[in-house]
Structure 1
């Protein structure tokens, strides 16, 4: 039985905000994928369908301890660079739905 956890973040990003948003996501993901416990990384852009979320990120983690350690490292990166995600979202009109997920027993 695995304890792997997936962090799935969904975003509604206005067209005018996409470049700045993607630059921030890429910088954060560069850090995350280098950390112990990171097992998977995806950055997805919606190309069709009726959904309003046009970007989805997925990070696979070995366990909750890996996620907790990664959160601390991301906070350090943001403090070092003076980045405040909530300010960016507010300024650019980005909406986010963030959460951790696990696989369902018997699926996959």
Structure 2
């Protein structure tokens, strides 16, 4: 059995919000990649299909504790920079589904 932990965030991003949204995601992931316990990440954009979400980010972490530590680090940086992610999502009309997943053996 695997112990891999993933933060998977799915978004419905209107066309008018795409540029600002992608800029903020890139900024956050640049920071995440430097933190202890970070393993890998990917962001994908939907190009076909009928699902609602058009962007998905997947970050793999070594442990649950590493995810919690990374969240604290990002929260502290956002506070210093006076950036509220929920305010941005609301202002741009972005819907988000944010969750932590664990890998299972098939």
Common fold: TM-score over 0.5? yes
Q: CA deviation at 1:40?
A: 1.1
Aligned to 1:38: 38
1:72 maps to 72
Classify the secondary structure of the residue corresponding to 2:76.
helix
1:68-107: per-residue Cα shift (whole Å, max 9, x none)?
Answer: 11011110111121110111011000000010111113x2
Task: Tell me, in whole angstroms, the C-alpha distance in 2 between the residues paired with 1:95 and 1:72.
Answer: 23
Question: How much has 1:3 moved relative to structure 2?
Answer: 2.4
In the alignment, the residues of structure 2 paired with residue 60 and residue 12 of structure 1 have an alpha-carbon distance, to the nearest angstrom, of: 22
Q: Quick one: distance in 2 between partners of 1:40 and 1:52? A: 25
Pairwise CA RMSD: 0.9
Number of corresponding residues: 106
Poorly superposed stretches of 4+, deviation over 3 Å: none
Aligned to 2:97: 97
| Counterpart for residue 57 of structure 1 | 57
Unaligned runs of 5+ in 2: none
